[in-house]
Structure 1
Amino acid sequence: MLQPDLIQTLVAIACGSAVGFSLALIGGGGSILAVPLLLYVVGVHDPHLAIGTSALAVAVNAFANLIPHARAGHVRWKAAFIFAATGVVGAFIGSTIGKAVNGQRLLVLFALLMIVVAVLMLRGRRSGGPDRYPLSHANPRLAGVGLGAGALSGFFGIGGGFLIVPGLMLASGMEIIHAIGTSLFAVGSFGLTAAVNYARSGLIDWPVAGAFIGGGVVGGWLGALGAKRLAKTRGALNIVFAGVIIAVAIYMLVRSLRG
């Protein structure tokens, strides 16, 4: 018979693979499932522990995915540093507040955020037109949007790419492919800031995080292979995935409100 710790590790690898696969296959919004998977499938019972562990996994996966985008020239480094500079401050503030919020209330807010993400996925990601980077006075706007996005990312322990990508496009005028590549630097920076803050309070399950990250790498590789073959059905995949997110959000709301 398998030991409970080994079973949890194998389940964490499988869940990490699912998140990594979905991220590579459909893009932004995939990491929103990390926290509910950690809570209800892997068996991390403390909401704050799940959020801290998720933040670390999100950060590592974001930096790993940043490498191919950087090699392809899809990262606007000046904008990335400006956005991340204020964003890490926001992430620290957001994660500090998140640790102080009652765990059940935090899950209710998280579930509501999941519904917002699902709606944004159903609306689809607009191309934003031609590259107009950099717009005049883009730096102050990048700093302001970065601060807000970082706070949200830190509070919930999420990547926040669904918010960061359009924020970069709006603030600086960059086209979507550059916004996606640039967003990964911000996602990694915000997630790492939140993870460090949670780690200071002992709110990261390191073995589970390692298994989750390892599974995410494998899942991301498989998702990248499948993305080309399933490119024509990407819209249908978004609809299905958004439906899954809404279903999980409703489940979280029912569990949290009953508890």
Structure 2
Amino acid sequence: MDPLTILAALAAGAAIGFVLGLVGGGGSILAVPLLVYVVGVESPHAAIGTAAVAVALNAAAGLAGHARAGNVKWPCALVFAGAGVVGALIGAEAGKALDGEKLLALFGGLMVVIGAIMIWRRGGVEDPDVRLDRTTARHLLPRLIPAGLAVGLLAGFFGIGGGFLIVPALLFATAMPTGVAIGTSLVVVTALGASTAGSYAVSGLVDWKLVALLVLGGLAGTLPGRLAGRALAGRKGVLNTGFAMMVIAIGLAIVWQGISTFS
């Protein structure tokens, strides 16, 4: 691996870590475009497999803090993640079977959709005491299982953590507070990322050296991102909207570049 590629991978990891620290999520959606267009990974499939490993590791690292703070609804998380893993394994196989350039174009379309969700998502009535047990299972399971399966299919197909899909899905299914949904989503992101990564690794579509560089860069970028996030805490809404618009713009550019692959 040449020095320029190493520097590009470290910079990509730092950018992902900075975004995670700044806005509290969304770094994973940038991983694939950064690997393809900045680091120069030629195979979109290899970029997706490599990104999936980094996503799982980042989520697992962030999960510990949320778990200590009590921001994880474990029964809901495990049911959602269980259904999601099934979907992720199916989605990963479907993604690997699709032409890489077409897959990348569809990924751009997903970025546009996720950016729109980030902008238009509105808070609803929250239930901080929601819990999955024998009395609530009849109501919650028919919501959690299909939502987990659907998100897992997308996460596996595109190799993303799916945090910006998982959080709205958890809010819809359970009405848990947003902060708790974010913590709970990290259980799911870890499981989906690991499942997708495992599927791609078995097919030889993970560059482990790049994974290490992304993680190292991410560690370096997270702290500055958190400091910037605290300094700009009063403008959190502006930050989130700005990031969402950037995601949409990148997605549109990817779609525009790859639309010819469908002709």
TM interval, shorter chain, is over 0.9
Distance 2:30 2:3 in 1: 22
Distance 2:42 2:253 in 1: 16
Cα shift at 1:125? 5.1
Amino acid at match of 1:211: L
**Are 1:29 and 1:121, in contact at CA under 8 Å, matched by a contact in 2?**
no
1:95-146 CA-partner distances (Å, limit 9, x unpaired): 0100001111111111111111111222245264342513732123212211
**Equivalent residue, structure 1, for 2:36:** 39
Q: What secondary structure is seen at the aligned counterpart in 2 of 1:151? A: helix
Amino acid at match of 2:23: I
User: Bigger shift: 102-111 or 116-125?
Assistant: 116-125
Cα shift at 1:255? 2.2
**Are 1:127 and 1:175, in contact at CA under 8 Å, matched by a contact in 2?**
no
**Equivalent residue, structure 1, for 2:111:** 114
**Are 1:9 and 1:207, in contact at CA under 8 Å, matched by a contact in 2?**
no
Q: What secondary structure is seen at the aligned counterpart in 2 of 1:203? A: coil
**Equivalent residue, structure 2, for 1:96:** 93
The answer to whether residue 144 in structure 2 is matched with residue 142 in structure 1 is: yes
Amino acid at match of 2:78: F
Amino acid at match of 1:87: G
Distance 1:11 1:231 in 2: 29
**Equivalent residue, structure 1, for 2:81:** 84
Q: Using a 3 Å threshold, how does the CA distance of structure 1 residues 34 and 114 change in structure 2: closer, same or farther? A: same
Distance 2:2 2:260 in 1: 29
Q: 1:123 aligns with which of 107, 120, 125?
A: 120
* Structure 1 gaps, min length 5: none
Amino acid at match of 1:251: A
**Are 1:132 and 1:175, in contact at CA under 8 Å, matched by a contact in 2?**
no
**Are 2:75 and 2:131, in contact at CA under 8 Å, matched by a contact in 1?**
no
Q: 1:26 aligns with which of 23, 31, 41?
A: 23
Distance 2:259 2:140 in 1: 42
Q: Using a 3 Å threshold, how does the CA distance of structure 1 residues 30 and 128 change in structure 2: closer, same or farther? A: farther
1:159-203 CA-partner distances (Å, limit 9, x unpaired): 111111111122123111111100001001000100000000000
Distance 1:25 1:125 in 2: 20
Distance 1:27 1:95 in 2: 26
Cα shift at 1:81? 1.0
RMSD over aligned Cα atoms: 1.6
Cα shift at 1:30? 2.8
TM-score norm. by structure 2 comes to 0.92
Distance 1:6 1:153 in 2: 32
Amino acid at match of 1:77: W
Distance 2:122 2:229 in 1: 16
